[in-house]
Amino acid sequence: MRLTLVDERNRPYPAPYLVRLAGWTLQRYLGEAPEYPFCEFVREEVVMYSPATAEHQDLVRFLMRLLDGYCEARGWGKVLTGPAAIKVLPDVVREPDLFVLPPEEIPKARGVPLEVRPALVVEVVSPATRTVDLKEKPEDYALAGIPEYWAVDPEERRVVVHRLLSGPEQVQGRKPGAAPATVPGPPGEPVRGMPYAAPTALAPPQGEPAPDEVAPSGAAGAPHEQALTATTTGPAPVREMPAPAAGTGFGLGPPGGAAPAYAVEALSSGRLEAGTVPGLWLRVEWLWQDPLPPVARCLEAVLGSAENRF
């Protein structure tokens, strides 16, 4: 299936954007949604993101090589990257930038979507995914019992670290969104939301071909709208969300309550130690260097033979 996002003049819509397409089932998503651009399934919606920038991909590649090299050297776990799809909840399929499976989950990593519980999920925040990465995904990941989630934010130069405070066995009967989602930041300073394109049109019935392009609705000679298309008519709105002091619980209920919740901290520098991948750490400053540092030297430091050189 071809996905086309156009403006009011039927021209390709410039990034960044996010589009939500309602009225889908999980079965239809698995059978029809394209692998590119990234598309996720969230509670009967297909969520489509604008293409990633080269800078975003460079950072994802750096983290993937570092984490994969570490896991291979230590003989622990396995690193996978998007668009590998994880069924984190019965009605939610996410495609993280990268994630680490613990040894006991590796045999389960078969087919699509993967029904596994990562030890660590990492997302690189972009203008198109800011609200999703900092608000929506932590709620889903907490509810799924994923113990650790890093949101790497190169624009703000910080890593928002989420660590689970309560177990997945406590989530029965709770629904996403039961508590406001927050991330740490300077007091009184909001975390900027992401632009997103809201108007959507549904896809054609299964089995009908989709043209390469779709003319605006009502145009002379316009073909039947068989492509999956979203049209925008102006600047995308921006969502805002508050940013309280560091240490705030982030999840579907208060820390220690009936639902899982994350403890959250934001690091702009210093040593970040993974709580779920034994012995893994990195220096946050590595992520902001331009160009990024050599992975081999960073991996050597992480593995312990040259820690004092960085």
Within 13 Å of residue 134, how many CA atoms lie on the same side as its CB? 29
pTM for this one? Answer: 0.68
- The answer to whether 253 and 261 are in contact (CB under 8 A) is yes
Read off the pLDDT of residues 262-282 as tens digits, 9 standing for 90 and up: 999 999 999 999 999 999 999
pLDDT top residue among 249 and 15: 15
Res. 88: pLDDT tops 50: yes
CA-to-CA distance for 183 and 244, rounded, in angstroms?
7
Q: What is the DSSP code string of the chain?
A: --EEEE-TTSPBPPSS-EEEEES--HHHHHHHS-SSS-EEEESSEEEEEPPPPHHHHHHHHHHHHHHHHHHHHHT--EEEETT--EEEETTEEE--SEEEE-GGGGGG--SSSB----SEEEEE--TTTHHIIIIIHHHHHHHTT--EEEEEETTTTEEEEEEE-S-GGG-TT--TTSS------STTPPEEEEE-B----PPPPTT----S--PPTT-TTPPP--SEEEE--SSPPEEEE----TT-EEESS-TTSSS-EEEEEEESSSEEE-SSSTT-EEEGGGGG-SSPPPHHHHHHHHTTSSGGG-
Asked if 6 and 38 touch (Cβ cutoff 8 Å), the reply is no
Any idea which of 9-13, 112-116, 203-207 has the lowest mean pLDDT?
A: 203-207
Mean pLDDT of the chain: 73
Say whether pLDDT at 235 is over 50: no
- Domain borders along the chain are 1-51+198-231, 53-193+242-309
Radius of gyration of the chain measured on its C-alpha atoms:
20
Amino acid letter, residue 207:
G
pLDDT tens digits, 46-85? 777 677 789 999 999 999 999 999 999 999 999 999 888 8
Residue 1 CB neighbour total at 10 angstroms? 16
More confident residue, 90 or 1: 90
Fold of 53-193+242-309: tt1808, chain A (3.90.1570)
Instruction: Output 257 or 104, whichever has higher pLDDT.
Output: 104
Q: In angstroms, rounded to a whole number, what is the distance separating the alpha carbons of residues 136 and 132?
A: 5
Q: How many CB atoms lie within 10 A of CB 103?
A: 12
User: Measured between alpha carbons, how far is 138 from 110 in angstroms, rounded to an integer?
Assistant: 24
Measuring CA to CA, how many Å separate 50 from each of 18, 38, 155, 196?
6, 8, 17, 10
